[in-house]
């Protein structure tokens, strides 16, 4: 097995010449022969002017390089795609698999003995883990870290749970235009990822629990010196990984995914994370067991008191002891014998967790935020292949609810009619959004957080049961059933719902059902018409996406990226 500069030579039919040529070119960058003999550590550069969540990446790279060189390696930074939630049309999910392909192939194509994957904003670390799983070169993840909190008139604010809450207030007329403009400048006050337990934070915490990142790296604020020290340590760890691993497939085992899912429940984490980790596991030929995950949700309490399920923000979680302290609290539900990229077992990390007297962000098992876990897996005649609800961010009184369906046929239909005063809608109705799944929208937008119709919002209605084949932001809250599979656009039963039908949600029984007889449903199925594919899906990436994207319960990966048996 070749290492360093000798690895993965470009094919000219003469290996000696390929190496000669490679060294001749790289020497144009001023490298010495001594440097070129060292183990090579790749470092992904996901900096982009369009990605403020990655604004600290240049400094992180500098610190990783320092760590690599102090440990005797040669750091080689290389660019990949960078995806920010608000700068990705039609959705960031649409691009996740493109980043996974890009990262996988660059890891494979360029000579490196291990790789440091620096990511943060929601889709980046999942894509990088998918790439690492498929390339199976020793890898370590370095999250960019969460933003610090913002402040407005004595109130602590954070992106983007408070973005949604305050925007809802503006829609309802309780907040002025001037005030909402002022708040707009305060919600995201530093570089880094959203500082609530949204998707980015959830994925970072799960990555730590999975064993793919150093302890503490999920939670240290993006702008703190500790994060640069963690970057330096990640560089040094990558040099150790370069000589003998373990490889991602040896860290990301079925037991390690189980640990990550326990943490997902205990942090009241984002529903999106389940799609992402299903995709990462799928790259290794592993299927996450949804029934086991749901059963876990009945046993594992929500222990971390962060928005949107609780009150605090990521920097508070960090100073309360972060993921290691949480692992200690969950120790009887985890496999602590598993290895991590830093060299210690998960158990040793939990053992070394900082004990912070009086902290109330990481609760004890005796005083959880919620007794059941954050997420529940639903089935029923509306969701034969599962749907998901974030129980911890829902209204308790709506978890058992029956109501009349008010149906929107897609994003445009919803935008056109939702705020129309003539819309026939009442507070106890069930809002239904369809054709917003992986293929239907396309890209499964975070539109599942259907706004409360304006006329009801003005009456003070704060939550309603909302169901869709879309996703929602991990920072959102409400009684919202998501990821209904199969999606309406490929013939799922969500496409058969009509205005006025009765829908029953029973989270305790894990059911979401359309109360319409089988005969009537069969008659509706017989006349159902498939919505047209997006106009641009005749070529290029849009076509690839339409042809290859899998459903939410399969991780929304491209089918051709799954391992062949
Ligand atoms: Fe990047 Fe929230 S927008 S993490």
Q: Which of 200, 313, 473 to mutate to test the pocket of ligand 1 (most atoms within 8 A of CB)?
A: 200
Is residue 219 a contact partner of residue 322, using CB atoms and an 8 Å limit?
Answer: yes
Most informative mutation of 46, 51, 53, 195 for ligand 1 (most atoms within 8 A of CB)? 53
Q: What is the rounded CA–CA span in Å between residue 407 and residue 469?
A: 13
Looking at the DSSP assignment, which residues form a beta bridge with residue 513? 504
How far apart are the C-alpha atoms of 549 and 329, rounded to whole Å?
38
84 CA closest ligand 1 atom index: 1
Ligand 1 atom nearest 201 alpha carbon: 4
Atom index in ligand 1 nearest the CA of residue 53 equals 1
Q: How close is the Cα of 351 to the center of ligand 1, in Å?
A: 31
Q: How many CB atoms lie within 10 A of CB 169?
A: 16
Ligand 1 centroid distance, CA of 85 (Å): 6
> Is the distance from CB of 483 to CB of 386 less than 8 angstroms?
yes
Ligand 1 mean position to 132 CA, how many Å?
22
Q: Ligand 1: which of 48, 85, 88 to mutate, most ligand atoms within 8 Å of CB? A: 85
Q: What spacing in Å lies between the alpha carbon of 475 and ligand 1's midpoint?
A: 9
User: Any residues with Cβ below 6 Å from ligand 1, and which?
Assistant: 53, 84-85, 121-122, 159, 193-194, 198, 200
The atom of ligand 1 lying closest to the CA of 198 is 2
Burial of 399 (0-12, 13-18, 19+ CB in 10 A): middle
Q: Radius of gyration over alpha carbons of the chain, in Å?
A: 24
- Distance of CA 492 from the midpoint of ligand 1 (Å): 31
- Dist. CA 440–CA 438, nearest whole Å: 6
| pTM attached to this predicted model | 0.96
Q: Which residues pair with 41 in a beta bridge?
A: 75, 114
Q: Atom 3 in ligand 1: which residue has the minimum CA distance?
A: 85
CA distance 495 to 460: 30
Quick one: which atom of ligand 1 is closest to the CA of 473?
2
What φ, ψ does residue 65 adopt, rounded to 5°?
-60, -40
Q: What's residue 565's pLDDT?
A: 53
Cβ-based neighbour number of residue 548 at 10 Å: 14
Contact criterion met (CB below 8 Å) for 57 and 144: yes
Structure tokens belonging to residue 128: 């990088």
C-alpha distance from residue 358 to each of 278, 313, 321, 329, 361 (Å): 37, 17, 12, 15, 9
Contacts of 91 (CB under 8 A, 6+ apart): 441, 443, 444, 445, 446
**Mean pLDDT, the chain cut into blocks of 10 residues (565 residues total):** 89 93 96 96 98 98 98 98 96 97 98 98 98 98 97 90 87 92 94 96 98 98 98 98 96 98 95 97 97 93 91 96 98 97 98 97 93 91 97 93 98 96 97 97 94 94 97 89 98 98 97 98 97 91 97 98 85
Q: Residue 86 CA: which ligand 1 atom is closest?
A: 3
Q: What is the rounded distance in angstroms from the CA atom of residue 197 to the CA atom of residue 203?
A: 9
Q: Which atom of ligand 1 is nearest to the CA of 120?
A: 4
CA distance 36 to 38: 6
Whole-number Å distance between alpha carbons of 115 and 241: 9
Report the Cα 498 to chain-centroid distance in Å: 32
Choosing from 194, 202, 207 the residue with most ligand 1 atoms within 8 A of its CB, the one to mutate for a pocket test is: 194
- The span from the CA of 137 to the CA of 139, in Å, is 6
259 alpha carbon – ligand 1 mean position (Å):
24
Angle between helices 254-266 and 199-210 (to 10 degrees): 140
If phi > 0 it is left, if psi is from -120 to 50 it is alpha, else beta; for residue 359 that is: beta
Is residue 107 within 8 A of residue 127, CB to CB? The reply is no
* DSSP conformation letters of 374-408: SEEEEEETTEEEEEEEEGGGS-GGGSEEEEEEEEE
What spacing in Å lies between the alpha carbon of 53 and ligand 1's midpoint?
A: 6
From CA 456, how far away is CA 346, in angstroms rounded? 49
Closest C-alpha to 68, from 239, 190, 213, 240:
239
Choosing from 46, 55, 84, 222 the residue with most ligand 1 atoms within 8 A of its CB, the one to mutate for a pocket test is: 84
Of 126, 132, 83, 77, give the one whose Cα is nearest residue 103: 132
What is the rounded CA–CA span in Å between residue 559 and residue 483? 18
CA 226 to chain centre: 24
The alpha carbon of 80 and the centre of ligand 1 are apart by a number of angstroms equal to: 18
Using the Cα atoms of residue 285, residue 266, residue 371 and residue 354 in order, give the sign of their dihedral: positive
Q: Which atom of ligand 1 is nearest to the CA of 52?
A: 1
Residue nearest to atom 2 of ligand 1 (CA): 194
C-alpha of residue 159 to centroid of ligand 1, in Å: 8
- Outline where 433-504 has alpha helix (H): 454-458
- The pair of structure tokens assigned to 261 is 């899912």
Of 467, 295, 448, the closest CA to residue 381 belongs to 467
Ligand 1 atom index nearest CA of 199: 4
Nearest CA to ligand 1 atom 1: 121
CB 361 within 8 Å of CB 268 = no
- 29 CA to middle of ligand 1, Å? 35
Going from the Cα of 2 to the center of ligand 1, the distance in angstroms, rounded, reads 39
């Amino acid at each position: 097995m070749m290492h360093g500069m000798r690895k993965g030579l470009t094919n000219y039919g003469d290996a000696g010449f390929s190496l000669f040529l490679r060294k001749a070119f790289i020497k144009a960058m001023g490298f010495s022969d001594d440097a070129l003999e060292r183990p090579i550590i790749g470092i992904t550069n996901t900096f982009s002017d369009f990605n403020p969540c990655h604004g600290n990446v240049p400094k992180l790279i500098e610190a990783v390089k320092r760590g690599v060189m102090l440990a005797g390696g040669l750091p080689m930074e290389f660019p990949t795609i960078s995806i920010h939630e608000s700068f990705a049309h039609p959705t960031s999910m649409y691009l996740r698999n493109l980043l996974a392909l890009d990262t996988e192939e660059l890891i494979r194509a360029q000579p490196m003995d291990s790789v440091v994957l620096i990511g943060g904003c929601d889709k980046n670390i999942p894509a990088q883990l998918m790439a690492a799983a498929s390339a199976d070169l020793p890898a370590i993840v370095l999250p960019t870290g969460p933003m610090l909190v913002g402040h407005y008139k004595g109130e602590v604010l954070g992106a983007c749970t408070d973005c949604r809450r305050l925007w809802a207030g503006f829609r309802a007329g309780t907040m002025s235009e001037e005030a909402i403009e002022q708040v707009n400048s305060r919600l995201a006050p530093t570089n880094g990822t959203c500082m609530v337990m949204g998707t980015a934070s959830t994925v970072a915490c799960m990555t730590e629990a999975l064993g793919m990142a150093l302890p503490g790296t999920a939670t240290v604020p993006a702008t703190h010196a500790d994060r640069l020290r963690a970057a330096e340590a990640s560089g040094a760890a990558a040099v150790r990984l370069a000589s003998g691993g373990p490889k991602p497939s040896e860290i990301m085992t079925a037991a390690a995914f189980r640990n990550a899912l326990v943490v997902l429940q205990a942090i009241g984490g984002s529903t999106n994370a389940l799609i992402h980790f299903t995709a990462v596991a799928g790259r290794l030929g592993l299927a996450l067991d949804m029934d086991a995950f749901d059963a876990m949700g009945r046993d594992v309490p929500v222990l971390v008191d962060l928005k949107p399920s609780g009150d605090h923000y990521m920097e508070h979680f960090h100073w309360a002891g972060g993921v290691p302290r949480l692992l200690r609290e969950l120790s009887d539900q985890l496999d602590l014998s598993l290895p991590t990229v830093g060299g210690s077992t998960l158990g040793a990390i939990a053992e070394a967790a900082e004990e912070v007297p009086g902290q109330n962000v990481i609760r004890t098992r005796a005083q959880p935020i919620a007794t059941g876990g954050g997420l529940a897996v639903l089935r029923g005649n509306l969701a034969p292949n599962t749907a998901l609800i974030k129980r911890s961010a829902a209204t308790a009184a709506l978890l058992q609810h029956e109501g009349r369906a008010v149906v929107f046929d897609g994003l445009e239909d919803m935008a056109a009619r939702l705020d129309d005063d003539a819309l026939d809608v009442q507070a106890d109705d069930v809002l239904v959004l369809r054709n917003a799944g992986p293929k239907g929208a396309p890209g499964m937008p975070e539109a599942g957080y259907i706004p409360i119709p304006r006329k009801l919002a003005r009456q003070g209605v704060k939550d309603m049961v909302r169901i869709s084949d879309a996703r929602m932001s991990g920072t959102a809250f409400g009684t919202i059933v998501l990821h209904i599979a199969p999606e309406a656009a490929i013939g799922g039963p969500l496409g058969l719902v009509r205005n006025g039908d009765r829908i029953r949600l029973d989270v305790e029984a894990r059911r979401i059902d359309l109360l319409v007889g089988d005969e009537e449903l069969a008659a509706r199925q017989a006349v159902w018409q498939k919505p047209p594919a997006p106009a641009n899906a005749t070529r290029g990436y849009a076509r690839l996406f339409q042809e290859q994207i899998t459903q939410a319960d399969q991780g929304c990966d491209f089918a051709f990226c799954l391992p062949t048996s």
